[in-house]
Each structure stands twice: as C-alpha cells, then as structure tokens.
Amino acid sequence: MSKNVSIDISLCHANKISPSHGFTDKELEVLVKQIKDYHNEILQERKIKKYGFFELYKDKDTKERIKKVAADFLNHGIENLVILGIGGSALGITALNTALNGPYYNLLSRECRKGSPRLFVMDNIDPTTFKRVMELCPPEKTLYNAISKSGETAETMCQLLIILKELENSISPEKIKEHLVITTSPKGENAPKSLLHPIAEKYGTIQFEIPLNVGGRFSVFSPVGLFPASLLGFDIDALAEGCAEMDTICSNPSFENNPAYQFAGTHYILDKDKGKKISVMMPYSDRLKDIADWYCQLWAESLGKKDDIDGNEIFNGQTPVKALGVTDQHSQIQLYREGPNDKIINMVLVKNFGENLPVPKILDEIPELEYIRGQSMGDLLHAEFQGTKDALTLSQRPVVLLQMEEISEYTVAQLLYMLEVATAMAGKLYKINAFNQPGVEEGKKIARRLMLEKKQNLC
C-alpha cells in the first residue's frame, strides 16, 4: 500500500457541482496546455537555481551537521527550545511539531519526550506572552534559536536583545554560545550582510545558513525547520525521503499524475472563471491543524500581489482560511454550504490515525445511541468527513480531497513539499512573482520610523 499523499479534484468538475461552480472538460483542456508550458519554465528555473526550495532536501552535508549539533546540545541536557522568529521562521516548525509530536507535547514528562526539549515558538511580540515564556524557561536550561535571514526582522531582534540581556545576567558571557544558535543568511562577498552575523561573532555561537534563493515561507526544509526538528527527535532523513518522493511525483509534466499541478490548476481556474476567491484548508486531524496555518502564509504571501510580472495592476490572490474537521463543521460549514459560493474547500483525511478508541456498548436504555455503540471514535470522524464532503457537493461547493495514509515524517514532508510546488505553479498561472512580498515591507518601514521618532522625542 502506497504511503504517498494523494489528491482527488473530481468534486470540482462541472458534472458534479454544475458548470457555474466547477470546471468543464473544455476549460480543463486549456488549463492543462498552460501548465505543460509552465512546467518547462519551472524546470529551466530549477537548472539555474533561481528558487532553492526545490533542492533543499538534497543537502546531505547540512543534514549531517544539523544532526551532530543537535546531539551535542541534547547531551548538555537542554530542557527548553525557544524559537525566536516570525512568519516562515516559525510556522514550519510549529506545523511539524504539532503533526509529529501532537498538540500536548510540552505537557509530557522529559522521559515521555525521550529526552527532547519542550518547544516554545515566539512568533509574536506580545510582551505578556514573552514574559511568561521567559519565566517558564530559565536561561541556564534553555537553548534559543534566533532565526532571521537578514537580521532586520524587528520582532526577532527585539526578542533577541531581551534574551541576550537575560543570558548575560544569568550566565557567564563565554557560556552564552551554549544557549544560543543563529540561523541566518550565508556569510561571504556575494551575500548581503545579516545583522545577526556580528552577534554570532561576538558570542561565538553556532550559525546555520539559509540559502539566499530560499524565502522564509519556503524554508521549512532548510536549517530553519530541520535544526529544531532534529532537536525534537524527528527523523530528518525521513523528511528528506518524503520530499524526494514527492519531487519525483511533481516532476511529472502530466496534469493527471501531478498532485501539485492539480491543486494549483484547480484553484486557479475556479478563482478566475468561477469566482472562488477563498481557499479553505480543512484537515480532519488535530495534528494537522497547524499545517493549515502554515498553508495560509504560503498561499497568501505568495499569491497576494498588486502587480503581475509585466507591471500591470491586477490585485491578485485567493484568501486562505484555516479550518479543522470536525470542529469547524459546527462553526464554519453553515456558511460554506449556505453562504456565498465563493470558496474552494480542501479537505485533508488521514486514513490511519495510529489509535483506535472504541465506543463502549453501554447505555442500552437510550436507543438513539445505537448508531455509535460498539464502533470507534475514528469511525465517527471518517463518517463526519464523508457526510460533510457529500453535503458540500449537494450544495454545489467545490471540494479538493487530500488523503494521507498516516501521519509520519515521510507523509508530512510530502504534503508540505507538494503545496510548495503547487504555489510555484500557481504563481506561473497567475503571472505573478510568487517569491517576493513587497506588500509586507511598507508597514515595517513605517514601524521603524515611528520607533525612531519616539526615541528622538524621549531624548
């Protein structure tokens, strides 16, 4: 039985949900021709290493170094791992940890965690939250991983300055390198200098490099994600194997056999031709809920662009929304079925949860519970999935089905890699640059100016 992640877009076809809301054979035929041409463009860009996320899993030297460094820190008895990073520096490891360790990992004893540290991802600058984590994580028992490609991320640098002062007050300066790792851009003549480089040099800390051709939201399989993943006990070789297998699958120019192209093409055609302006990611597993969060950044920041590649104003992009099955059947599905038909719903099913929780055959005096007695919680979840899928189809709502045989390093890597490739292809279809984020920068500039003005006024 294949463990490969699979996709089914048949419920987006006009013959299932009407020509007003689904694609027709003729529309699909035009799309397939477009994708074939763009596939060749992507191959050429890979050859010249224009975008590096495709090849990250192949870097064996970096993986081996990561494993060695992680083992050394674990041998020193680190109890807490605190990630100082935001956006792509935070969402990837959060998604991996929730998927592979489960939502309540930090509550487990050190023995149950097999010696791995607790994980705290500081992806915001709420001072109350940050102070609480500082109280929970004594510096002498904590490893901090500061992640920023440029070192100019205001939020991360704010956090790091606070932590450095805390470290200086708690331990001797020469031991700070035992509690801090820097992940940033490479050093070299042709590389832009990172503000994290002089910090790493001052304290003698270990540095990991983020390749210059890899953007933050595509960096989960770089040291950004792999170093903390290794500390948490994940098999990063299995992550690479999952990426490699999905790369092979997604290198197929055939639309029918390429899940990434099916995902990208379906979203594009339903957005442009059928008015589906919202993409809902709805996994039916608590362990995958943060992958939906990761997807929201990937899809929004990559495709939400004011201009196309020719400089024309187009104000492009679907709005991604995260949901959780079955939780959000009781909060969002009412809107999705009877509200505006402007959404495409991506439902993710895990066939084998690895757990089987039987429902006891009790309370016979309540005949209305007969449908559930003697079955299992997993049986009910799968029935709820099927029921929601069928109900959405009855309401002529397009549904993309993504299926995983199990949740493991191999399959999670496949899902993430497939969505990254899908995003690259979607950028081609929309004729936009999927790898920049100009709309984010203006707010950062304004914030820095306000901070400087405030400081000048205080002086």
> Annotated catalytic sites, by residue?
301, 330, 444
In a 3-state reduction of DSSP, which class is residue 409?
Answer: helix
Q: What is the DSSP string of 188-214?
A: STTSPPPTHHHHHHHHT-EEEE--TT-
List the end-to-end C-alpha distance of the chain, in Å, as a whole number. 69
Strands (DSSP E) found in 125-205: 142-147, 180-184
Strands (DSSP E) found in 212-362: 278-283, 319-322, 343-350
Strands (DSSP E) found in 313-441: 319-322, 343-350, 399-404
- The secondary element (H helix, E strand) that includes residue 375 is none
With a CB cutoff of 8 Å and minimum separation 6, the contacts of 313 are 306, 307
Q: Which of 104, 108, 81 is nearest to 225 (CA)?
A: 81
Q: Do residues 280 and 343 make contact, with C-beta atoms less than 8 angstroms apart? A: yes
- Residues 381, 385: Cα–Cα separation, whole Å: 6
